[in-house]
Amino acid sequence: MPGIPTNFVIADLVFDALRKRGAPQASLLDNANNLPYAYLGAIGASWGDFMAARPEIGAKSPNTPYFQAWLPVLKLIAGAAQGSSPASNGVYRDLKQLRDTLNKLGGVIKDKKKFALLGMQDELNQLNGVINALQKEIGGLSSLRNTIGKAIATGAPSVKVSPSNQWQPRDTLHGSHSGRFLQALQEAADASSDGRLKAYALGATVGYAAALCGNPYVNNVVGAPYRNHWWRHRWIETHIDTWVHGYYASGGSSTVQFDNNDIPTPLYTNWPNLCEANLHKRIELPGIDLDSILQSLHDGTASPAVLPQVFLDYWKNAYTKAYGPIAATVTSGIDDMGLQSAYAMTWLVLWLQTSGEVIPCMPPDQSNGPDNCGARPPWVAADGSVVVGGTVTPPPQPAKDTNPSVPEIVSGILLAMLGVVQLMTGYLSGGIADIVAAVALVADGVTDPDWEQLRCYQGWVMVFFYSLTNALHDMLKWSGLSFPYTMELAHDQFARQFGGKIEPTDAALNTARSRRRENGTYPASHWNPPPPPNASNWPNPPTEPVELPAETIYPFDLTWPFHFVDGLQFASTTMPPKQINPLFSLTSVPPAPPAPPLVHDKNEWQARRDRINKANATNEFFGNAVDVSLELLLSTQPAEFLDWDLDGDAGIGFPTWLLPTPGAARSAAIPEPEP
């Protein structure tokens, strides 16, 4: 499934088109009070990822499988309350204090303010305790990787058996009554005078179209539907999101060209990164407060309530209309507290991934040592060991092969990273110890500040600070919990040209471009992970046998994600972009009236429902998400949304479907009855 960043790109393109056309919806989008609701709607069915996502429940059910994978990371960031084992302030607060103090020191050194330097003595002395705390917190990464790995290996979407409102909400919203739910949202918004609800319904229409057009593309890259390879989907999704954001932020089809070696101009290294996109601000509502959310995670208490009651009632009523009465228990997450937590955790994850506040947006190629300070700082020995107070910390052992063709891929990377992280904290300790000692000599009147020496010390400490945070970046990226840098999308041109290999395995040619697939190769059956500790093989293409009947998943060979986003391809420097994936309608034979666009075509929807048990039943696609969104928003067709499968599970453009019994073949699928 496309991730939130891709949905936001599609939403921006749709919103701009509505404004340019002077559409009636444009006034909604120009109201600052409504716009966050439009983007919240554009998240679409993926909002169900965090229903339920309740810090007060912790690792217990009913928290969703996706939130179970996120929870240990969020607890690492937020820390743990007194009485926990171990209690901590959290990585965010410690990293922030370290970074803020070092940046302040850099300003003092640059301006050569002696008294300001002396005034920082207490702040600098506190950093020793901060680094000790970081070392303890980061030491927990060993158990953290096991916790994440277990959550990934044991988590999975719901089995498709009736009733769908007993599934996790994420799976219900994608795979059941998708049109009926959107219809309920739209009708309630139309009957209301509240612009926030109207804006949400507008955005939800975009989210519906984004999933409808984007999920088959993602399934193609993955090689299997979300239902069968859920975490490979998540991992691939982060790379597609990075590509889409960078491509459109660089100008999209009007600017970006690819040569015959699939190398873009401008280069990937110059594409904007998601880690500085601040996407959490798109859905930011009055009353949202970072400290309060972190405190709820720290203490294991309920998330703060931010969504207004009118919105909660609107959303729950639409859900009930589409799926039937909500269970009295909290297991579904469809209640006031569940929706409040879902909003808070969605905002928090976007903040963590795209604000640069926890992990600064500093790709390795941008983190340079200070000028004229030598090849290495004085506290780093020639062999790479760190010398702190006479104690030598040896360098880590060389990392294992991180090529995902070997079964240890992510586990090996994270294990190697532990050694790197510990060394980085050692570097910081050594550098800060020298800074503190130098400032102490100035305070005692032994010497005047050696500004050049202090500049070099501070500059090298910042290099190691960014090395430390990039190690955390790598952990989240390879775990599938955050986005790669755009520079990591590049491939080895020479390996491809002379050896026919696409390396590294996470290059965009492997993770963002669609694949050429022959009939009979989709969908791969359920993921069969290797046993622990090597259960983290989701970057590997599926090797499981095909789940019958086979289907066509994406009818276009070797294309980039623009194909499903807006369908526009760069033409030339003298010609405008050309449309290669327009809104699609089936050809009708006269005297039959022209067929409506496929997304509206109820006759074809019924025909596809009837042939879901036939192999390779269809290869017609809806078109691109922007045009499909505009069709749904501006069409003169009857305002009816069809129950298409937003996961693209069975193949391209099938209605939602259920299996009559667990483990039954898809050929026995039946349509879900009315609630």
Q: In whole numbers, what is the pLDDT of the chain averaged over residues? A: 86
Which pLDDT tens digit goes with each residue over 447-470?
A: 888 898 888 888 888 888 888 888
Average pLDDT over residues 122-142: 81
Better-predicted residue by pLDDT, 655 or 664: 655
Q: Is the pLDDT score of 662 beyond 90?
A: no
Q: Is 291 left (phi over 0), alpha (psi -120 to 50) or beta?
A: alpha
User: Cβ distance 561 to 240 under 8 Å?
Assistant: yes
In which residue are the tokens 């006034």 written? 27
Burial 550-565 (b: 16+ CB within 10 A, else e): bbbbbebeebbbbbbb
Better-predicted residue by pLDDT, 157 or 268: 268
The percent of residues above 90 in pLDDT, for the chain, comes to 47
The DSSP result for 468-516, as a single string, is: HHHHHHHHHHHHTSSPPPGGGG---HHHHHHH----STTSHHHHTS---
Type and span of the H or E element at 230:
helix 230-249
Q: Is the pLDDT score of 399 beyond 60?
A: no
Q: Is 15 left (phi over 0), alpha (psi -120 to 50) or beta?
A: alpha
Lowest-pLDDT range, 83-97, 455-469, 658-672?
Answer: 83-97
Q: What is the DSSP letter of 281?
A: G
Two structure tokens written together for 433: 């110890």
Better-predicted residue by pLDDT, 264 or 552: 264
Per-residue pLDDT at 417: 52
Q: Is the pLDDT score of 533 beyond 70?
A: no
What span, in angstroms and rounded, lies between the C-alpha atoms of 440 and 48? 54
Per-residue pLDDT at 402: 44
- Quickly state the pLDDT bin for 390 (edges 50, 70, 90): low
What span, in angstroms and rounded, lies between the C-alpha atoms of 575 and 527? 45
Average pLDDT over residues 25-32: 94
In which residue are the tokens 């069409």 written? 635
User: What is each CA distance from 632 to 10, 22, 399, 626, in whole angstroms?
Assistant: 14, 16, 51, 10
CA nearest to 437, candidates 369, 379, 375, 384: 379
Per-residue pLDDT at 31: 95
Q: Is the pLDDT score of 361 beyond 70?
A: yes
Beta strands 264-265 and 257-258 are antiparallel
Which pLDDT tens digit goes with each residue over 274-291?
A: 999 999 999 999 999 999
The percent of residues above 70 in pLDDT, for the chain, comes to 88
- Quickly state the pLDDT bin for 434 (edges 50, 70, 90): confident
User: Cβ distance 526 to 228 under 8 Å?
Assistant: yes
Average pLDDT over residues 87-92: 78
Q: Is the pLDDT score of 675 beyond 80?
A: no
The DSSP result for 4-73, as a single string, is: HHHHHHHHHHHHHHHHHTT-TTHHHHT-TTTHHHHHHHHTGGGGGGGSS--TTTTTSTTS-HHHHHHHHH
Q: How many helices (H) and strands (E) are present in the chain, helices listed first?
A: 22, 6
Better-predicted residue by pLDDT, 513 or 138: 513
CA nearest to 371, candidates 469, 467, 452, 465: 452
Q: Is the pLDDT score of 631 beyond 60?
A: yes
Per-residue pLDDT at 109: 92
Which pLDDT tens digit goes with each residue over 145-163?
A: 677 777 888 888 888 888 8
- Quickly state the pLDDT bin for 82 (edges 50, 70, 90): very low
Peptide bond into 541 cis (omega under 30): no
User: What's at 406, amino acid-wise?
Assistant: V
Which pLDDT tens digit goes with each residue over 286-323?
A: 999 999 999 998 888 889 999 999 999 999 999 999 99
The pTM assigned to this predicted structure is 0.93
Better-predicted residue by pLDDT, 139 or 369: 369
DSSP three-state, residue 557: coil
User: Cβ distance 74 to 318 under 8 Å?
Assistant: no
The DSSP result for 358-381, as a single string, is: SS----GGG--PPTTS-SS-TTB-
Q: Is the pLDDT score of 409 beyond 60?
A: no
